[in-house]
A = this chain, B = another copy of it.
Amino acid sequence: MLTERQLTILQVIIDDFIDSAHPIGSRALSKKENLPYSAATIRNEMADLEELGFLEKTHTSSGRVPSEKGYRYYVDHLIGPIISPSPNEVTIIKNIIDDGFFEFEQIVQMSAEVLSKLTSYTSIILGPEMFETKLKQIQILPLSAHTAVAILVTNTGHVEHRSFSIPEKVRASDLEKMVNIMNDSLKGVPIVQLQEKLATEVAQLMKMYIDDFDTSFDYLKSVFLSEHPVKLYIGGKSNILMQPEFNDVDKIRSFFNMMEKEDEIANLLKNTKSGIEVTIGNENEVEAIKDLSLITASYHMEGDHMGTIALLGPTRMEYRKVITLLRGLSNEMTDALYMWYKNDDA
């Protein structure tokens, strides 16, 4: 068990290191007011803390640096009261969301950028996932003799569209009929069930009305059932260049390499529980971010997990600030979702 004094020293070291990125020496610590001990005393304590695994040295005679275990302890016990975001930050967040307009994707994108700007880390936002999203309307609009655009609208105001050219074989009138049938029978169906319903019930129905059913149907499927990938927004990839730990070209390269594997990152965020989660360095399962820390927060709609907001930065991260901010934003987003979609009449 750590003594009170050890706790204080650990906390001060981590706070200082987070701030300065330089190893902390005993002399500097002994000058702090809340540590009225001599450098030698503090050295002894630091040696103990190192033995316990909370601190590390970069070389034999350097100052101390927090270990991952140290950060973990700090995050779990020493982080102090999570203050609410500063008024300034609150206004910034609120401004993004209370715009009168609400394109959720747009909000998510702006949030990613703002988060990154406020922290100088890289922000990643996943979602929203569309489990509860229902179909509102399907439309096919001819553009010219043999091209058209298909538009699909959900109850959340999400719009997907796809332009395509109509093969000779497929008759425009058939397409129209099919769309009508789809609208009649699929309105209000959750997006995730769309494919299934379309293949079974709706297909039955259509066969009765459409001449060259097979060709047209295959075609239709390819238009409407393209993957709906969960979207990933990344903000401030280059913001992280301001961190002193990215002082080396190779690190920068490997960081950017990693950021290009969007699906891997998406997976990382998908498996988060609700609430705020902090994974530090090697706690991360993905090789590429084993020397970074990831903080995730999820946002909800009526209890259902909708998506995840995350910040990725060096293990020397401003945990307190980031946790505060993420909590603020995820609450804001959860509230906003509720506000907008509670009167859902899809």
Residues of B within 8 A of A2 (CB): none
A100 at the interface (CB under 8 A from B): yes
A213 at the interface (CB under 8 A from B): no
- Asked whether, in the complex, the Cβ of B141 is within 8 Å of the Cβ of A101, the reply is no
Residues of B within 8 A of A156 (CB): 143
The count of identical subunits is 2
Give the distance to chain B from A255, nearest Cβ to Cβ, in Å: 9
Give the distance to chain B from A100, nearest Cβ to Cβ, in Å: 6
Give the distance to chain B from A102, nearest Cβ to Cβ, in Å: 5
Residue of B nearest to A145 (CB): B343
Residue of B nearest to A340 (CB): B147
- Asked whether, in the complex, the Cβ of B146 is within 8 Å of the Cβ of A153, the reply is no
A274 at the interface (CB under 8 A from B): no
Give the distance to chain B from A27, nearest Cβ to Cβ, in Å: 31
| 13 A-B residue pairs with CB within 8 Å | A101-B165, A104-B163, A144-B343, A145-B345, A147-B343, A157-B163, A159-B161, A237-B237, A237-B256, A238-B253, A238-B257, A241-B252, A249-B252
Closest 9 CB pairs of A and B: A157-B163, A238-B256, A159-B161, A144-B343, A149-B157, A101-B164, A145-B343, A241-B253, A102-B163
